[in-house]
Amino acid sequence: MAAARPNQLAGVVPPEMPTPTLLVRYTEKTKVATIAFRPVEPQSHSAHATTRDGTGVSERDDGWPMPGTLFVGQPTRRARLRRARDRCDVLGSRPAAPGSAAAAVYDWLMPIPAPSPDARAVVTGASQNIGEALATELAARGHSLIVTARREDLLNALAARLSDKYRVAVDVRPADLADPGERAKLCDELAARPISILCANAGTATFGPVATLDPAVEKAQLQLNVLGVHDLTLAVLPGMVERRAGGILISGSAAGNSPIPYNATYAATKAFANTFSESLRGELRHSGVHVTLLAPGPVRTDLPDDAERSLVERLVPDFLWISTEHTAQLSLDALARNKMRVVPGLTSKAMSVASGYAPRAIVAPIVGSFYKKLGGG
């Protein structure tokens, strides 16, 4: 039986679907969320009684859950429901009482909003690399898009390809998000539209001793990597909270977990992205809005010829690189599950572990010796 990605809007019960469905009902008085399983072939499942003996969710021989009751706060039953959630569609309307036990269960179960003709998923930095891959993956999942980057020609080519292949609407918004005026114009538009997903992906990096770098370029990096993320998030967030549904994917970096000499401004901007994302997620726990931090390692779209390899590609071994397509898939799957952080690739995982356990005074010179080479040192 094929697994299904969660993809149903809150409060919308679609016609019969060719995928298993997890039905969720609530009893505010007893603070119990009741689940029931509706399979593809109704005759294959005859049990309809809800267990009330505290045994949680029973399972069939094939691993699918039988109807049962989730008692909030019991980890073993949460684990079983998590497995069911990841393989089923979730239906039902969110309980009205904010902060209630039933609402908390619903927010944990409910995926990000499904594709809709009016709603848009926004991807910044969509003209290349991870941004292009995110836009492609969202279109493949049926989402209409707003794509933005500086290169209008690349955005138009992307829009034509995605709309032709996936039959979705793609709105092109060329903008330099490091420019406060252009950023404000885009934010005003997004605040007035039903934005279902924001992928705050646009970013840039510089390498070398800060004292030798162009101050204007460093300030532009702050505008893009910090204020670009902050302003666009604040533009779409009120609407998501009001609708009690939405997803925000913020592209941070493992570089934001520790000091990195010769990459100082970038590391500082990604420290903001990392902590802002995880702090925001804590604030939105009971809102129905998902927030996930993407902290990737080295990514690339294709394997370049030796003559076309950049300095980074020559310094980083091939086995440490991950594809932008794989990164996009992992990221959107993590957002649907409301994971706090997704860390694709061995490099980023190693940096995350090192920054968490090794003394910063030791990490900084080791990492700095590598980044010094990127700055031409």
pLDDT at 74 (0 to 100): 40
Provide the β-strand partners of residue 91: 23
pLDDT at 61 (0 to 100): 34
* pLDDT tens-digit series, residues 279-328: 999 999 878 899 999 988 766 554 444 444 444 444 454 545 578 888 89
Q: Establish whether 106 is a catalytic residue.
A: no
* pLDDT tens-digit series, residues 325-362: 888 998 998 898 888 988 876 665 555 555 554 555 55
Question: Tens digit of pLDDT per residue, the chain (377 long)?
Answer: 333 333 333 333 333 333 444 444 444 454 444 444 444 333 333 222 233 333 333 333 333 333 333 333 344 445 555 554 444 434 344 444 444 444 455 555 555 788 888 999 999 999 999 999 999 999 999 999 999 999 999 999 999 999 999 999 999 999 999 999 999 999 999 999 999 999 999 999 888 899 999 999 999 999 999 999 999 999 999 999 999 899 999 999 887 777 888 889 999 999 999 999 999 999 998 788 999 999 887 665 544 444 444 444 444 545 455 788 888 998 998 898 888 988 876 665 555 555 554 555 555 555 655 555 555 55
Range 120-374 has CATH code 3.40.50.720: yes
Across the chain, mean pLDDT equals 72
Do the beta carbons of residue 358 and residue 300 sit within 8 Å? Answer: no
pTM over 0.85: no
Residue type, 359: P
Identified catalytic residue from 166, 266, 357, 371: 266
Domains of the chain, residue spans: 21-109, 120-374
How far is it, in rounded angstroms, from Cα 151 to Cα 350? 34
Q: In angstroms, what CA-CA distances link 276 with 225, 271, 344?
A: 12, 8, 20
Do the beta carbons of residue 316 and residue 347 sit within 8 Å? Answer: yes
pLDDT at 113 (0 to 100): 82
Residue 318, classified by CB atoms within 10 Å of its CB into exposed (0-12), middle (13-18) or buried (19+), is: exposed
